[in-house]
Structure formats: structure tokens, C-alpha cells
Chains A and B, each alone.
Chain A
Amino acid sequence: MKSLRTIDRRLLAACAVFIAALVLPAFVSGYGIRILNLALISAIAVIGLNFAFGYAGLITLAQAGFVGCGAYVTAILSTTVGLSPWLSIPIATIGSGLMGVIIGLPMLRLKGHYLALATLGFNVSFVIVATNWKSLMGGTDGISGIPALALSGWSLGTDHSYYYVVWAALAVATWCAWRIRNSHIGLAMIAVRDDEIATGAASVGVTRIKVQAFALSALYAGLSGALFAHMTNFVAPDDFALGHSIIYLAMLIIGGEGSILGAIAGSVIVTFMPELMRDLGTAYMIVFGGLMLLILIFLPKGLLSLTGIVAHRLRTLSR
């Protein structure tokens, strides 16, 4: 009974947040809404990362590379090929997911820091290829002139209107992630993380589950990258460098790994952190790294676990 009630309460809270999110743009200035869009776009990639890292326990440092795959595929298809963005975004998303399968099949035999290093190698290689394949990917200049989205004559090019596109995509992504989490696939992923040998013994295909988690993670990253490309109308290799993969992991850990809400919260917090600490200038990254380290040491389950701790304290105090 109790677990049912908490799920209901969570659903209610989620609904409240989403309704609040719907009316939010009315109160936010132009620059704020752009940062918010970026935060929500990152959230999609981080929800994806949660499949691989939070559920299946795969340490991947390649998420920014997959975000780049999505961004570049939609950029090339909508400029050079001339496809409509409504077509190129799904192609980029699925293409990135397929890339996840292709990369994942050989790499997921590795574990722990070996997997971390192999995925790191993929991310670094992606940036090298994007920087040097000038004819297709534009080199360091990147690809510019990526068209904005439009809906039957309505332009969705402004940050305020694009917010609703991003918001809808995030809502769908969150719902799908929630469904997958509670399906047998999600449960199998968590089982693989907790005890790989026991899961294999229970005749669950461990490799298949890992590849699924990795591919889902790449799929979400592809969607995130595609949405990013059509917002900034410009992609360049720097936006998908290894440092961004680390930021995505940081977002997930700050929010709370293994939690979809944590992924979203972490993305929003980390994206807005530089804005809040702008006065610090260059010292910002020092504070950021230090804060992350403190969270890792003292709150290994992320900031969302803080609410649980506080609630528990309050309950015991009121007794």
C-alpha cells in the first residue's frame, strides 16, 4: 500500500512540475529561456545515459560523441541533402542508436575502467574525424545554416517557441524511459548491474541487455544532439568533446544516478550553475570540480537523495 501511495505522490509531483514547466516561459527572459532549452536538451541525453550508467552500470565516456552523431546527421541531412528537419531528426535519432549498437557490440565485452577508456577513445576519435573530414563535416568551422523547425508555416525558430518543442520531446523521452524502467528490460538492466553472473545464470542474455542499454543511451543522445543542432543552427566539433561526456556523467551523479527525475534535475542544476556563479570567472571550474568531488564523497546517491534524508529527519523529529 505504502509503495503505491508514494508512486501516486511522485506522479502527482511530476504532473505539477510539467504543468509549471508549460507556463514557465511567460516569466523567463530571452537569455534565460535559451539556457533552459539547453538544460532540457541535455536532460534528454542524461536520461539516456541513465540507462547505460544508472541502470546497467556501464561506465561510458562516449555520450557526447553520440550527441555529436545525432547533431551531425541531422545537420548534414537538413543542409546538404535538403531533407525536412521533421524527417532528419528521427533519422539522426535512430542513426545514433544504431551507432550505439555497432560500437556497443564489440566494446561491451569490456568492464570497469577498460570500458571507460575504450568509450573515451571513441569520443576522442569522433572529434578527430569531425575536425578533419572537412568535405562532409566541415572541419573546425563546423556546419552552419541548419534550418530551424517550422510547423505548417509557423516558425519555431525563436527560443520561446522552440522551448515547447524541447519540452514535448523531453516529456515523451521521460515517459518512455519510465515505461522502459518498469518493463522487464529495465529490470534486467538493473539486475545486470547488481550481479552479472547471477543474472546470466537466470538465463537473461547479459550481453544483449548491455547492448540494449547502450543503444538506448545512444538513441537518447542522438535526439538530444539533433534538437541541439536545430536550436543553435550550427554544429562544431568542440560541442561534442570528451569534456562534455564528463559533464553529462556529472549531471547524472549530481542529480542521482538510477533516477530519471535525478537526471533531469542534475541537467538543470549543472546547466544553470555557471550562470549563478558567473562572478567567479575562471575560478568557476575549480568550484564546480570541488563541489562535484564533495557530492561524490558525501552524497554518493546525488542531490535528490538529500530530499529523502531531510524528510526522514523531519519525520523522526516530529515523533
Chain B
Amino acid sequence: MSQQFIQLLVSGLAVGSVYALVGLAFIMVNEATGVVNFATGQMVAIGCFLSVSTGIQMELPLGPAYALALIGSALFGIVFYGVVFRPLQDRPVVTVIIGTVMIGIVIQNSALIAWGSVPFRPRSPFGRQVVDVFGAAISAHALFVIAVAFAMIGLLYGFIYRTAIGARMRAVAQDRDAARLMGIGVDRMFVLTWVIAGLLTGAAGILVGPMWFADVNMGDPIALKAFAAIIIGGFSSVPGAIVGGILVGLAEMLGAAYISSAYKDGLVFLVMILFLLVRPQGIFGERIGQRA
């Protein structure tokens, strides 16, 4: 394998695992609450800019800076729950879609006022350090992103499938009313879902910052790729989001290098539309056939 190919592979995996995190946030919310959150991208941007505030503007060491930014993102998830989800809950899908799009606009422009239009370049904990992998120079940050993303996914998986609270969350996702009759605090589970969504998107934002720039408009492009990822993977499937995210990341990097850098995003959406038309349940299928 050529050196360039390995580099592209690793950066594709890194970008793809960020998409996987965002896709998971999307799926968690949609599964538990039935809300399709079109402001997911803006939540990623908020996570990224919180790490800018703590890491660059407040000049904290990166450990506490990341922790603070993650806490901030989780709190942001709770605010989102109270301000957006509660009033829009149980409204028609259309209302929720437009509502979350509108709140996305509000968030994005508030971020513009708070942080300005000049992009920041967040530091990586590894600086510009480079690691040798099979003779190819690989940025240490890319490996860090992959490791953290997969650690988070593992933790999430353990939480949902191995703990009592996770079982309650799954119960709420399956049948809200039955869960309530079983004495599960449904509203508390919703809050928890939004906290997890905040953590996942926040982590995605923190990780993606040093790879690209922290720009207030960064949300939508990332969210669009995450949409594509979960459609390719399967809308309600956790492994689907991971595989879909990595496929999209790889397609983006390899497509840009070997096919056309101008049309790399078009390529992703073409694949997404093809999947919607030919295999709408995605690679990993979906429990209930709601799509067509």
C-alpha cells in the first residue's frame, strides 16, 4: 500500500468516526423521542466552540478544557430538551422538522454573535505530532479521534445494553405508554437522552476542531454527512450509524483524492439517494418498515 493511501485511509476513518458520533446522537434522539433533530449540526458546532472558549480563550489545559466543554454540551442538550423538544413534542413530523431547522438557525447566529465570523484553529492534545504507521506519516490527532470515538461508542453500548437505566431507556423507545405504566420516569429518560445527544455531538465537535477549523457554519455540512451515514447504515441501527459514518468518511477522503475533489460531497449524496431508492432500510435494516 502506498503511503498516501494509508494516510487517506486513516483520515477517512477519523472523519468517519466523527460522523458516526453525530449519527448516533441523531439516532438516540430519534429512537427514544421520535424527534428528527435537524439542529444536530449546530449542536456539534456549539461543542467545538465551547472547547474554543475553554481551550483558547480561557487558556485552560486541554484536559479540563475538554471536560468543561463536554459538560457545557450536556447542559446544552438539557436546554434543548426544555426549550425545543417539550413544546414540539407530539406535533406532526413536519412541524418538528421545521422547528428544529429554525432553532438551528437561532443557534448558528447566536454563535456568530458570541464567537464572531473569523474561524478559530483549536489545538490538538498532540499538537502536530506525527506517528509512523506502516511507513506512512499519520497525524497523531487522527488516531486520537478514532480511539476516543470508538471508546465513546463502546461506553454508550455498554450503558444502553448492560445497565438498568439503559434498559429503561430502551423500554421508553419501544413503547412510551407501556414504559410509563411500568413506573419508568419517561420524562427523566427523555432528559437523559438529550444529555447523551449533547455529549456525543459535543465530543464530535471537540474532536473535529483541530482537524478542520472552528467555523460557525461548520454544523450543516457535518450534519448532512451524518444524515447520509445513518441512511446508508440503517436509520435506527447503532452498528449502522458506525459503519455508515465510516463509509461516508472513507468515500469523502478517497473520493476527493482518486475521483474528483469538487464532486466529493455530491458523491456522498448520490450514494445516499441511491440507498434511499434501492435499499431504504439501509445496510442493517430497520425494525419497523415505516419508510415506504
Q: List residues of chain A with CB under 8 Å of any chain B CB.
A: 53, 57, 59, 106-107, 109-114, 116-118, 120-122, 124-125, 128-129, 131-132, 242, 246, 249-250, 253, 282-283, 285-286, 288-290, 292-293, 296-297, 300
- A105 → chain B, closest Cβ, in Å? 10
Task: Assess whether B1 is interfacial by the CB under 8 Å rule.
Answer: no
What is the CB-to-nearest-CB distance from A250 to chain B, in angstroms, rounded to a whole number? 7
Write the nearest CB–CB distance from A173 to chain B, whole angstroms: 23
| Shortest beta-carbon contacts, A-B, top 6 | A289-B106, A289-B105, A285-B109, A132-B262, A128-B266, A121-B269
A300 touches B91 (CB 8 A): yes
Output the nearest chain B residue to A129 by Cβ-Cβ distance: B266
| Residues of chain B contacted by A112 (CB below 8 angstroms) | 93, 290
Residues of A within 8 A of B272 (CB): 117-118, 121
How far does the alpha carbon of A112 sit from the alpha carbon of B35 in the complex, in Å? 12
Does the CB pair A286–B106 fall under 8 Å?
yes
Q: Are A118 and B224 in contact (CB under 8 A)?
A: no
Interface positions of B from 76 to 105, Cβ below 8 Å from A = 84, 87-88, 91, 93-95, 97-99, 101-105
Complex Cα gap A109–B292 (Å) = 6
Partner of B273, one of A53, A118, A290, A292: A118
The answer to whether B113 touches A283, judged by C-beta atoms less than 8 angstroms apart, is yes
Whether A122 lies near B273 (C-beta < 8 A) is yes
Instruction: Give A170 to B108 CA distance when docked, in angstroms.
Output: 34
Residues of B within 8 Å of A117, CB to CB, are: 227, 231, 272, 276
Contact of A59 among B87, B93, B276 (CB under 8 A): B93
Which of B98, B103, B108, B110 lies in contact with A250, CB distance below 8 A? B98
Chain B residues contacting A246 (CB-CB under 8 Å) are 98, 101, 105
* Contacts known (A117-B231, A121-B228); A110 close to B98, Cβ less than 8 A: no
26 A-B pairs (CB sep. < 8 Å): A57-B94, A109-B277, A110-B280, A111-B292, A112-B93, A118-B276, A120-B224, A121-B228, A121-B276, A124-B269, A125-B270, A128-B262, A131-B262, A132-B266, A242-B220, A246-B105, A282-B113, A289-B106, A290-B106, A292-B98, A293-B102, A296-B99, A296-B102, A297-B88, A297-B99, A300-B95
Q: Does B112 contact A (CB under 8 A)?
A: yes
In the complex, the answer to whether A116 meets B105 with C-beta atoms within 8 Å is no
**Smallest CB-CB separation from A131: which chain B residue?**
B262
Q: Do the beta carbons of B36 and A113 come within 8 Å of each other? A: yes
Asked if B159 lies at the interface with its beta carbon under 8 angstroms from chain A, I say no
Instruction: Determine the distance from Cα of A124 to Cα of B267 in the docked complex, in whole angstroms.
Output: 11
Give Cα A219–Cα B280 distance, bound, in whole angstroms: 27
A288–B104 Cα distance when bound, in Å, is: 12
B31 sits at the interface (CB 8 A)? no
Known: A116-B97, A121-B273. A293 touches B106 (CB 8 A): yes
Q: Evaluate contact between B98 and A114: CB separation under 8 angstroms.
A: no
Contacts of B126 in A (CB 8 A): none
